[in-house]
Amino acid sequence: MKKKLIQSILRANQILDIVSENNNGISLKEIANKLKLGSSTIFYLINTLIETNYIIQRENKYKLGPKNLQLGNYYLESLSLYKIALPILEDLLVKINESILLYMVENNKFLELVKMESTHSVKPTRIVINSNNANATAIGKVLISSLSKDELKEFIKNNNLHKFTKNTIISLNKLYKELEKVRKDGYALDCEESEIGVNCIAAPIYNYKEEIKASIGFSIPTQRFSKKQIIKIIPLLKNGVAEISRLLGFNEKYDHF
């Protein structure tokens, strides 16, 4: 079956390819000639790319804009994080044998990089973590734990936070206190806050800028979730995220773990 594609996006991509091949810049007419299209046809596309910083204009010539570098850095950072974290995640899975997740964050967007399942027959249902349930998941709490109270207020305002179970925190003050505890303890808990029967323990991964870049979390069904299990997991999890953070260039003199 032939895929249905959007013509304007294809043309925008072609324009970016052409501009990228001309380090000294290229004119509108030259781009139009290469695409075998009229200048007026691509004028608005190029203006849109300028507005979104994918292209910059200098003396009637077009060059690649800073947005491309930003996206490239995000892509490389995600690859680097995945490559560094994978063996550590595999080791944690063997030691703890509970489903493990790795999420990274960019501009309040949560991206799942790894999901590994335990060998147990009973496993938690799959929960996709995003900005709309960050208040109800351990990984979500970790990824928003560095927000100030004003930033958290704005985050709540911009995201449709739900009360998933009777344990879900939706109050600004209660959630901020919970995030203060996450910062103090170096880990977060979700005790049936997103779904009855599902619990999670998560801890932060820091990058070289000393920012929370990602989080590792264990998802555990209630029948295997206990204080003894938490006590067993926390030091192993903290050691794991500390090692990944170190390999990402985090300065170890700061005691976040």
- Give CA–CA dist 224/45, Å, rounded: 55
Cβ neighbours of residue 64 under 8 Å, at least 6 residues apart? Answer: 16, 19, 20, 54, 55, 56
The total number of structural domains in the chain stands at: 2
Closest CA to 207 of 124, 120, 106, 93: 106
Answer yes or no: do 111 and 221 share one domain. yes
In a domain, 70, yes or no: no
Answer yes or no: do 164 and 142 share one domain. yes
Answer yes or no: do 50 and 152 share one domain. no
Answer yes or no: do 96 and 36 share one domain. no
56-101 confidence digits (pLDDT tens): 998 889 999 998 888 887 777 777 899 999 999 999 999 999 999 9
pTM score over 0.85: no
Domain housing 111? 77-247
Answer yes or no: do 95 and 41 share one domain. no
Answer yes or no: do 35 and 91 share one domain. no
Answer yes or no: do 86 and 195 share one domain. yes
Answer yes or no: do 59 and 82 share one domain. no
Query: Which of 21, 37, 64 corresponds to the end of one domain?
Result: 64
Cβ neighbours of residue 168 under 8 Å, at least 6 residues apart? Answer: 135, 136, 162, 193, 194
Answer yes or no: do 137 and 177 share one domain. yes
- Give CA–CA dist 96/99, Å, rounded: 9
CATH number (domain holding residue 192): 3.30.450.40
In a domain, 93, yes or no: yes
Q: pLDDT tens digits for the chain (257 residues)?
A: 567 888 889 999 999 999 998 888 999 999 999 999 888 889 999 999 999 999 999 888 999 999 888 888 777 777 789 999 999 999 999 999 999 999 998 877 899 999 999 998 887 777 788 888 999 999 999 999 999 999 999 998 888 788 999 999 999 999 999 999 999 999 999 999 999 999 999 999 998 888 999 999 999 999 999 999 999 999 999 999 999 999 888 876 545 66
Answer yes or no: do 55 and 99 share one domain. no
In a domain, 196, yes or no: yes
